[in-house]
Chains A and B, each alone.
Chain A
Amino acid sequence: MDQPAPPPLLALDGLGKRFGSLQALEGVTLDVQAGTVHCLLGENGAGKSTLCNLIFGVYAPSAGQMRFGERPWLPPSPAEALERGIAMVHQHFSLVPRMTVVENLMLGQARGVLNRSAFAARISDIADRFGFVLDPNAVVGELSVGERQRAEIVKCLMRDPKLLVLDEPTAVLPPGEIGALLDICRRVADSGRAVILVTHKLAEIAKVADSVAVLRTGRLVAQADMKTADMGALVHAMVGREVKPLDVALGDSNATEAAPPDRPGFALVCDGLSVQDRHGATRLDNFTLEVRPGEIVGLAGVEGNGQSELGMVLAGLLAPTEGRYFIGDTELTHAGAAAVTAAGGGIVPEDRHAVACVTAMSVAENMYLNKLDRFTRFGLLQRRALNEAASAQMKEFDVRAAGPEVAFSGLSGGNQQKAVLGRELTLDPLVALVAAQPTRGLDVSAVEAVYRQIRAAARRGVGVLLISSELDELIAVADRIAVLYRGRLVGERPAEMGERGAIGALMSGQVA
């Protein structure tokens, strides 16, 4: 402890990156020591991914220097970075689902004659060393998200890197697997390597980090040793203002809220919905659920247990194999997306980029994508009226962008989601809202805004089905929580903190 600190493994000095007119990163000076877990904290759009991509050689910096070990570091490509000792696990995995773990790991590493058993032995060896279980002969497509992530980590560790970068590794994990991941991070660091862990979830870092750096709008706004760090100060640094932790904020609004108006009938009814995929596997199995007007029903479950299929059915994009689906009194089982909208079904799809918006089009076009007829006279689009309406709606839903005509892709994830939510919440009539993973990848303040809007809608008498894998958020927001496991509704519990364990057990398939 008293010795002078050894030279850092990775040293960033005044690092900057500019994309056109956007200064994504500016003047970042940061040291990462070998044998430590270094947390990189920041809201969405703060520059965390850009920083990782600079270190990993995806982009070249526009200012500043990097040093790695003894030498200047400027890898021309990720392949080169990997070769020279830095490995990165991206948010999106690059594994071939139909191949086994061994086969996946041999891709790009094996030369000449394939020796499966030797590779399998190496995998088991690495898994043992870092204390986790991974069956080398399992088919990747059948693994859980956590297991796939471990396969990715092993893929990196096989190259024996000195530095391992993990980009938002916890975002995709169910609560139970986060702890295991953090343990792996700890062991990797203990083996003398350095780990950079990117996240925007505060609670995670306290457990594992040795030091922490906070990015905001491309600048490094705080750096601390974890032993002495003040969590409140870190939050403050991250968002630039005082924010109540999510559960407190939501708990407050929970308490002050009047009971939902007791209206007759149902806002949304799923009656025995089943979906089989093209291989004949049952993805959704006899799913029955009723949502009353003004009620928020949470649907919990680890991702991949039928939520996506349910979301597609409710959005009118997938016809169920069996069962019926109503919004209000309108049957929509085979009616299609336009009819869902007309019947008052607001949909916030889980995959924002693939389903909710056309990122290459403008903010205004996206906010009225389903209501273009309103701005059409004699077949021509009244752009001025469209942009004016969009400006007003952007204000109402706090969508921050340079204007209604900028490309949707230029918005941060939070602002994109607020725009989508605004589009769906302004349907007239609005009877039910189905929001799937609406806060995924959003920063704290955007999460707050999204849930504020959802609560407000419920107070107006809209029935809300909230599909999420974030149990804490469901407990804070929903009135009751149903649990989906392997396509089936396995139980329902009140949305109370005390039920957390019971719900978690249901999510993992243990019948309560």
Chain B
Amino acid sequence: MTTLVMTMPDRRRLMALSIPFAAVVGSMAVGLLLIAVSGKSVPDAIEAFLDGAFGTAFAFGASINRAVALALIGLGFILAARANLTNVGGEGQIAVGGIAATALALWAPVAGLPLGLAVIVPLLAGTLAGAVWGGIAGVMKVRFGTNEVISTLLLGFVALLMVYWCVQSTALLRQPQTSSSTLPESLPIPDATKLPGLTGDPESPLHIGLGICLLLALATAIVLQRSTFGLRLRAIGLNELAARRAGMPGSILLVVALGIAGAFGGLTGAIMLQGEQFYLKAGFSSGYGFDGLVVGLLSRGSTLGVLAGALFFGFLRSGGISMEIMAGVPSALTLVIQGLIVIAVAGSVILVEKLEGGQR
């Protein structure tokens, strides 16, 4: 797998990786400084962070599950980015994936399906819904020239509101209203449709979503580096006119690329639902789409970069929540640190490109 991802010459690659790494370390140091300035105990905060991120089997599993969601969104992002498309609609694609997976999981016949189909059918439904959601943006782009940044973003808001609608209306996915205090949520999905755990430990929330994610990461690396499809995406991304002249179906490739990115988002929604949350509620996607976008952006198109970034942000999120609860550090501060990292890494990417560009 390393050989798959190692495409750049090693020296340049080392530089390309070490600069963002230094940026991360630097911005974390600034974060600790901010904690000290805010009057909280830095050692307490660090302890709470580590505890929340890795401390227990549960904490570790929860961090990994977060990373899986971020990685899947990031993988979809870099695939579309190969065709020079920027999918910022991960959040909405998660939402439609969650809706579709919930609908199928709660549909009585599905839970009774044999051979793991009870799990697979909702997963596929979520994937398909996400693909359609991404594909719509693709069609808008090739048909009307709508910039996909705008269309995926706005479709994302539509999808988030669709979740609200679904959980507010008993005609859709809201649980039967037995009293005035019935929450606007779906019924929990049947056990048969939940993702199987990875370890026997009932304490650990780790589930097979991790395996799915790693398989898809491998597949993504192969598609990007080895496949003709990946090369065509690249050609379209670099020079659409020349690619079309060479007989490539430009419009179809663009729609498919955004559809795949959307499919990754939809699958993420299904995995989040069937692996951890088990019922649909408002705010279901809770920002993973946007964090995953950041992971994709910072990876510079490398599959390993996506996995590394997803792990980093997964643990950062878990640890941040724990810092807030146990050490009283405002969770906004983790967001500040995240923001600092994004800026630092984005800046370092420009720096790296400038260094490389200087040799033209």
**Interface positions of A (Cβ within 8 A of B):** 19-20, 315-317, 336-338, 341-342, 347, 349, 354-361, 365, 369-370, 372-373, 375-376, 379-381, 383
Q: Are B242 and A354 in contact (CB under 8 A)?
A: yes
Q: Are A354 and B239 in contact (CB under 8 A)?
A: yes
Q: Are B245 and A372 in contact (CB under 8 A)?
A: no
**Distance from A216 Cβ to chain B, minimum over Cβ atoms (Å):** 22
Q: Once bound together, how far apart are the Cα atoms of A220 and B242, in whole Å? A: 37
Residue with the greatest number of chain A CB neighbours at <10 A, chosen from B231, B243, B246, B360: B246
Any A CB within 8 A of the CB of B13? no
Q: Are A381 and B231 in contact (CB under 8 A)?
A: yes
Q: Are B227 and A355 in contact (CB under 8 A)?
A: no
Q: Chain A contacts of B232 at CB under 8 A?
A: 372
**Distance from B249 Cβ to chain A, minimum over Cβ atoms (Å):** 7
Q: A355-B241, A375-B228, A381-B230 given. 13 additional CB < 8 A pairs?
A: A336-B247, A338-B247, A338-B249, A347-B245, A356-B245, A358-B235, A359-B239, A360-B239, A361-B231, A372-B232, A376-B228, A379-B229, A380-B227
When the two chains form the complex, which single residue of A336, A361, A373, A376 contacts B234, counting CB atoms closer than 8 Å?
A361
Q: Chain A residue with minimal CB distance to B359?
A: A20
Q: Are A373 and B245 in contact (CB under 8 A)?
A: no
Q: Are B360 and A355 in contact (CB under 8 A)?
A: no
Q: Are B245 and A19 in contact (CB under 8 A)?
A: no
Q: Once bound together, how far apart are the Cα atoms of A138 and B234, in whole Å? A: 43
When the two chains form the complex, which single residue of A341, A355, A383 contacts B242, counting CB atoms closer than 8 Å?
A355
Q: Once bound together, how far apart are the Cα atoms of A210 and B234, in whole Å? A: 50
Q: Chain A residue with minimal CB distance to B356?
A: A20
Q: Once bound together, how far apart are the Cα atoms of A349 and B232, in whole Å? A: 20
Q: Are A337 and B238 in contact (CB under 8 A)?
A: no
Q: Chain B contacts of A341 at CB under 8 A?
A: 246-247
Q: Once bound together, how far apart are the Cα atoms of A354 and B238, in whole Å? A: 10
Q: Give how many B residues have a beta carbon under 8 Å from the other chain's beta carbons.
A: 23
Q: Chain B contacts of A316 at CB under 8 A?
A: 245
Q: Once bound together, how far apart are the Cα atoms of A34 and B14, in whole Å? A: 52
Q: Chain A contacts of B360 at CB under 8 A?
A: 19-20
**Interface positions of B (Cβ within 8 A of A):** 222, 226-232, 234-235, 238-239, 241-249, 359-360
Query: What 10 pairs between A and B have smallest CB-CB spacing?
Result: A338-B247, A20-B359, A369-B246, A370-B246, A376-B228, A358-B239, A381-B228, A358-B238, A370-B247, A380-B226
On whether A355 and B359 interact (CB within 8 A), knowing A361-B234, A372-B231, A381-B226, the answer reads no
Q: Are B228 and A369 in contact (CB under 8 A)?
A: no
Q: Chain B contacts of A383 at CB under 8 A?
A: 226
Residue with the greatest number of chain B CB neighbours at <10 A, chosen from A316, A369, A375: A369
**Distance from A500 Cβ to chain B, minimum over Cβ atoms (Å):** 34
Q: Once bound together, how far apart are the Cα atoms of A337 and B250, in whole Å? A: 11
Q: Once bound together, how far apart are the Cα atoms of A234 and B320, in whole Å? A: 73
Q: Once bound together, how far apart are the Cα atoms of A13 and B291, in whole Å? A: 56
Q: Once bound together, how far apart are the Cα atoms of A369 and B238, in whole Å? A: 13
Q: Are A337 and B244 in contact (CB under 8 A)?
A: yes
Q: Are A361 and B238 in contact (CB under 8 A)?
A: yes
Q: Chain B contacts of A337 at CB under 8 A?
A: 244-247
Main secondary structure on A side of the interface with B: mixed
Q: Once bound together, how far apart are the Cα atoms of A360 and B249, in whole Å? A: 20
**Distance from A375 Cβ to chain B, minimum over Cβ atoms (Å):** 7
Q: Are B231 and A379 in contact (CB under 8 A)?
A: no
Q: Chain B contacts of A372 at CB under 8 A?
A: 228, 231-232
Q: Are A361 and B228 in contact (CB under 8 A)?
A: no
Q: Are B222 and A365 in contact (CB under 8 A)?
A: no
Q: Chain A contacts of B246 at CB under 8 A?
A: 337, 341, 369-370
**Distance from A129 Cβ to chain B, minimum over Cβ atoms (Å):** 40
Q: Chain A contacts of B229 at CB under 8 A?
A: 379
When the two chains form the complex, which single residue of A20, A336, A365 contacts B231, counting CB atoms closer than 8 Å?
A365
Q: What are 19 A-B contacts defined by CB distance under 8 Å?
A: A20-B359, A337-B245, A338-B247, A341-B247, A354-B239, A355-B241, A356-B242, A357-B242, A358-B238, A358-B239, A360-B239, A361-B234, A365-B231, A369-B243, A369-B246, A370-B246, A372-B232, A379-B228, A381-B231
Q: Chain A contacts of B227 at CB under 8 A?
A: 379-381
Q: Chain B contacts of A361 at CB under 8 A?
A: 231, 234-235, 238
Q: Chain A contacts of B247 at CB under 8 A?
A: 336-338, 341-342, 370
On whether A369 and B242 interact (CB within 8 A), knowing A19-B360, A358-B235, A380-B226, the answer reads yes
Q: Once bound together, how far apart are the Cα atoms of A132 and B8, in whole Å? A: 54
Q: Chain B contacts of A336 at CB under 8 A?
A: 247
Q: Once bound together, how far apart are the Cα atoms of A446 and B241, in whole Å? A: 25
Q: Are A19 and B238 in contact (CB under 8 A)?
A: no
On whether A355 and B245 interact (CB within 8 A), knowing A20-B360, A375-B228, the answer reads yes
Q: Once bound together, how far apart are the Cα atoms of A361 and B237, in whole Å? A: 11
Q: Once bound together, how far apart are the Cα atoms of A154 and B202, in whole Å? A: 81
Q: Once bound together, how far apart are the Cα atoms of A356 and B249, in whole Å? A: 16
**Distance from A309 Cβ to chain B, minimum over Cβ atoms (Å):** 14
Q: Chain B contacts of A355 at CB under 8 A?
A: 241-242, 245
Q: Chain B contacts of A373 at CB under 8 A?
A: 228
On whether A358 and B226 interact (CB within 8 A), knowing A338-B249, A381-B231, the answer reads no
Q: Are B242 and A358 in contact (CB under 8 A)?
A: yes
Q: Chain A contacts of B234 at CB under 8 A?
A: 358, 361
**Distance from A502 Cβ to chain B, minimum over Cβ atoms (Å):** 35
Q: Chain A residue with minimal CB distance to B231?
A: A381
**Distance from B317 Cβ to chain A, minimum over Cβ atoms (Å):** 36
**Distance from B352 Cβ to chain A, minimum over Cβ atoms (Å):** 16
Q: Chain A residue with minimal CB distance to B242?
A: A358
Q: Chain A contacts of B243 at CB under 8 A?
A: 358, 369
Q: Once bound together, how far apart are the Cα atoms of A495 and B229, in whole Å? A: 46
Q: Once bound together, how far apart are the Cα atoms of A354 and B241, in whole Å? A: 7
**Distance from B244 Cβ to chain A, minimum over Cβ atoms (Å):** 6
Q: Once bound together, how far apart are the Cα atoms of A463 and B178, in whole Å? A: 81
Q: Chain B residue with minimal CB distance to A351?
A: B241
Q: Chain A contacts of B242 at CB under 8 A?
A: 354-358, 369
Q: Once bound together, how far apart are the Cα atoms of A383 and B359, in whole Å? A: 27
**Distance from B257 Cβ to chain A, minimum over Cβ atoms (Å):** 15
Q: Are B245 and A315 in contact (CB under 8 A)?
A: yes
Q: Once bound together, how far apart are the Cα atoms of A356 and B243, in whole Å? A: 9
Q: Chain A residue with minimal CB distance to B250?
A: A337
Q: Chain B contacts of A369 at CB under 8 A?
A: 235, 242-243, 246
